[in-house]
Structure 1
């Protein structure tokens, strides 16, 4: 069984093909990490899979640029994770005056992220690592069957990154991430996919990907 799949599809922007003739599938319960140099198409693949998954499954997204509204508070940015659960009137009134139940729920999400005391602070006043955790909080608040994350722990140190990846494992049955840290990728993934320009160099269970495979992936 697969949640979503690409079958010999060409992915790119406009007329530029980044990943030609690509086949890729995601199954329930997998934790897949994409590895590879910048510019090889990891974000392109994540976006394509998000579009495919979101048609049929509740999917949480953590984009690389965080996609936060700097003028709004941490609380209100996290609430945006469920905008499509409600109508425009509900969302507008909640933006003006957050409902008590929603506030309590968001604070519960922010607490393990170390952000509960910053709930009312505008995002523009936060550090890069704090902003990244707000984006994660929005995904936690949304919930769903799948988490897609594009370098979702790149702005925090290794200890915090490991803890955040642990929260991902606990909250989402299936995940598809791009990570630059190979050690973190190995600790998190059930499956590793190595991308080089033009396509996939390897796609295998994490325990079967050797150090030599990783070295070849990043070799000039």
Structure 2
């Protein structure tokens, strides 16, 4: 008898939403993302993409509903337990969030701060164990920039900095990666390469990948599941092959009122 095991949820929302005073950034939403899934969140500015990612990594709290991350209900989790959950979720922000004066290896080693704490991380920044330098070199080799190990981060190109940010996420040994517009500052060729690389690594390591993207063609080409957001609501949640062009056009066609109120959330 064949026994199939359903993959556990990495993230799940049950009627979870987020308001900023009288403004609804994300309407009450219900969805689940399984371990190892690769998902692109698409939609215009102000549609709620960043808000959704921020709810997943618990940098903001839901105004309503329930959020579960790695089997833990966030509303019932705090202190060390919340810190432990966060250490398993790597984030790649749009602006890299790298320390320009650091060497590349120093920026990557900060990926362990959730596990090692501030003091442990500070010690490793000053007196790095050889084993950790070798591990970082191995990650950089996988990303194709191993020669930049001791390079000052400020000397790198935008594409190289984005790979360092990815390296920092991988050093964390995450169960999930949340990437917020990670290729917005690089040219189309490098953007394609980085998205492809992230997908490849996520598949090989069974890492849940959730990425917000403005580039719809990249999302359609590389992700088996697309979530379209508009005005803080899910417009679609589907395999890209099941979506027609009119659905995508509807997502990005703003009304006059929406244009006047446009702003990223």
TM-score by length of 1: 0.89
Q: Which runs of 5 or more residues in structure 2 are unaligned?
A: 1-7, 59-67, 71-81, 255-265
Name the residue aligned to 1:72. 102
Name the residue aligned to 1:112. 142
Query: Between Structure 1 and Structure 2, how many residues are aligned?
Result: 220
In the alignment, the residues of structure 2 paired with residue 87 and residue 36 of structure 1 have an alpha-carbon distance, to the nearest angstrom, of 36
Name the residue aligned to 1:133. 163
Deviation, 1:14, is 5.3
- 8 Å contact 1:81–1:142 — kept in the other structure? yes
Q: 5 Å matches for 1:33-182?
A: 33-51=40-58, 53=69, 55=82, 56=85, 58-172=88-202, 173=206, 174-182=208-216
The answer as to 2:230 corresponding to 1:191 is no
SS in 1 for 2:99: coil
188-197 or 119-128: bigger deviation: 119-128
Query: Can you list the C-alpha shifts for 1:168-203, whole angstroms capped at 9, x where unaligned?
Result: 233322211101111110122111111111311111
Query: Can you list the C-alpha shifts for 1:22-61, whole angstroms capped at 9, x where unaligned?
Result: 2222112321111111121101101111225375582221
TM-score by length of 2: 0.75
- Give the direction of change, closer, same or farther, for the CA distance of 1:15–1:108 in structure 2 (3 Å limit): farther
Q: Which runs of 5 or more residues in structure 1 are unaligned?
A: none
- Give the direction of change, closer, same or farther, for the CA distance of 1:159–1:16 in structure 2 (3 Å limit): same
The answer as to 2:220 corresponding to 1:204 is no
- What is the CA RMSD across the aligned residues, in angstroms? 2.1
